[in-house]
Each structure stands twice: as C-alpha cells, then as structure tokens.
Amino acid sequence: MLLLRRLLVTLVLLAALAFAGFYVLTDPRVVSPSPEIGALPAADIENGKLLFAAGGCASCHATPGQEERTRLGGGRALASPFGTFHAPNISPHTRDGIGNWGVQDFVDAMAAGVSPRGQHYYPAFPYTSYRLIPPKALADLFAYIRTLPPVEGRAAAHDLRFPFNIRRLVGGWKLLFFEGASFRPDPAKSESWNRGAYLVNGPGHCAECHSARNALGAIVPATRFAGGPDPEGKGMVPNITQSENGLAKWSVEEIAELLKTGFTPSFDSVGGTMAEVVRNMAQLPDADRAAMAEYLKSLPAVEGPKGR
C-alpha cells in the first residue's frame, strides 16, 4: 500500500511538472517573441496602402454585404476542419476595433501572433507568413489602417470544437511549426527575384492556400506551393510550382497578367477566392507583379496531392 501511494504521488508530481513546463514553454512571449521596434522613422502611408492590398486585408476583414472594402468591421466566417473562425474588426474603432492599439501591439499581432492581452492568435490569421514583413513596413501598414473609417460592432467569437477552443494549445502548435523571423534576401539572386520572394511568401501569403496541411493545420513543407485541399472545404487549390499540372507552361508575363486581370493564357478567368486575390494584386505596381511572377517561375516542380 505504501509503495502504491508513493507511486501515485510520484505520478502526480511528474504530471504537475510536465504541466508547469508546458505552461512556461507555451507562454506567448516565450514561444513567439515579437521584434522590438524601437524608434521608427515617420510612417510611409503609401507603402502601408500597398501592403494592405498585397496582404489581402480587406478580403477577410471588410464587413460582409457591402462594397466598401475599407470598412474593416470583420465578421466573415472562415470554415475549417477545426470549426469556424470569424475575422475580427480591425478598423480604428476604439472599442470594437484596434483604435486603442499602439504600433508595438500591431507588430506583436502580425509578426508573433500575440494579442495586446498577451494571448495567442489562431494561425487561421496568417501571421505565419506576415512574420516576414519587417517592423518598419508593419508600422506603415498600421498607419494606413488608422486612416480608414472606424466601424462599430464586434465580430462573433470563434466557434471551435474541443480541444481546439483552448488557446493555450496554440503555444504548443507554435513550438512545433512557427518560425518568427523577418524576410532575408538571397544575395545570390536578383533584386526583383528577392522582391517577388518577399511579396509571395510574406504579405501575399500565397503558400497559406496553395499548400497541403497536416492534421494539425500546419503547412507540409514538402508540398509548399504544390496545391492541396481548399482550407474551407471547397475542392482543390491549384499547384503553382513548375510542375506539369502547375505553371510549367506559363511564361513570367502570363503569370503577371493573371495577377493583374485574372485571365489565364487560355483566356479563362479565375473565380472564387482567387478573384479576390487578383482584385488585391491589381492594385500593386506592374513591377511588383512582375517580380512575383519571376519568383513563382523559379519554383522547382513539386507534385502535390491528387484531387478529391
């Protein structure tokens, strides 16, 4: 009996230590520390506006049911295997939006996935890509958003199944899958290639849709850009590598044209969420779309998952 009691006490102590270790390791400021912004030069509103378009902010955060894409009241429902996420209000409203945030709060959210209250954001918000945007550019984006109209009203809370509704578990997810670092140019590549790599992987977050994901919702590195099931369960997202079933037969100019007009080389047009992407990318300078096309054309061929 004494031996059994000691065994039980030992198991309880080990469980308590394991829980304490997990709690410390998954602390938002530990598992995903944000870059300290320090003193920044005056914000570049025009650069912020460009990033707003490249990042597709309006596509998720504009209030549904109205055409004005600068009214960022949130509310769009995003279906997923884990439940339904609802895009929040990110307008400058001081109660319902982000009007009371500081620049560091915004950088924390975008680069580390951490809220001003010190909680994890779910990676349905693609900070896993936005982390590549340097703090100065994030400050520019924040300054632009603050010029937009405040919108009253809060979006509905996320409706997630257990255990995915426990935010602290996102810290464990970050331990496994999240790398927080700004974009690092490749010195062996051209300036335009690096610009394209930055826009595609960072603000444009193209891999977030055009890649397969594992059971925990993280991108499978081996299938990056090779397409996969639509995260919202609406068929398949196409392969955009140089695979035969991807962009192998497309020219740089044809890729850039699709990003501007939505037309394919066969004079078809994209639809669904890709039409929204084109609406955003059409606002970028021609040189930026050309840079994105140059980078995409350089991606090695990867065979993605077969259609369902």
- Is-contact 82 161, C-beta < 8 A? yes
CA separation for the pair 256, 89 (Å, rounded): 32
Q: How confident is the model at residue 19 (pLDDT cuts 50, 70, 90)?
A: low
**Of the ranges 4-18, 35-49, 100-114, which is most confident?**
100-114
- The H-assigned helical ranges of the chain are 2-25, 28-31, 45-54, 57-61, 103-107, 127-130, 135-145, 168-177, 191-201, 252-261, 272-281, 286-298
| Of the candidate ranges 14-28, 148-162, 264-278, 290-304, the one whose mean pLDDT is the lowest | 14-28
3-state secondary structure of 108: helix
**Among candidate residues 167, 169, 29, 179, the one with its CA nearest the CA of residue 85:** 167
| Of the candidate ranges 65-69, 86-90, 279-283, 300-304, the one whose mean pLDDT is the lowest | 65-69
Q: What pLDDT does residue 113 have?
A: 95
Q: Can you give the pTM of this predicted structure?
A: 0.89
Domain ranges in the chain are 43-170, 191-298
Mean pLDDT score, 272-299: 94
Q: What pLDDT does residue 180 have?
A: 75
Average pLDDT across the chain, whole number: 89
What are the tokens at 253? Answer: 């100019």
Q: What pLDDT does residue 28 have?
A: 78
State yes or no: pLDDT of 308 exceeds 70: no
CA separation for the pair 61, 50 (Å, rounded): 16
More confident residue, 65 or 131: 131
State yes or no: pLDDT of 17 exceeds 70: no
- Is-contact 15 110, C-beta < 8 A? no
pLDDT tens-digit profile of 24-51? Answer: 667 777 777 777 777 788 899 999 999 9
**Among candidate residues 93, 294, 130, 263, the one with its CA nearest the CA of residue 204:** 130
**Among candidate residues 174, 216, 193, 161, the one with its CA nearest the CA of residue 288:** 193
pLDDT tens-digit profile of 228-243? Answer: 887 666 778 899 999 9
pLDDT > 70 fraction of the chain, expressed in percent and rounded: 89
pLDDT tens-digit profile of 183-200? Answer: 999 999 999 999 999 999
| DSSP structural state of residue 228 | E
State yes or no: pLDDT of 117 exceeds 50: yes
Q: What pLDDT does residue 47 have?
A: 96
Q: What pLDDT does residue 307 have?
A: 54
CA-CA distances (angstroms) from residue 54 to 21, 58, 182?
A: 39, 10, 17
More confident residue, 218 or 272: 218
State yes or no: pLDDT of 273 exceeds 90: no
Q: What pLDDT does residue 261 have?
A: 93
CA separation for the pair 241, 239 (Å, rounded): 6
Q: What pLDDT does residue 6 have?
A: 65
Q: What pLDDT does residue 4 have?
A: 65
CA separation for the pair 76, 71 (Å, rounded): 13
**Is omega for the bond preceding 163 within 30 degrees of 0, making it cis?**
yes
Mean pLDDT score, 115-136: 95
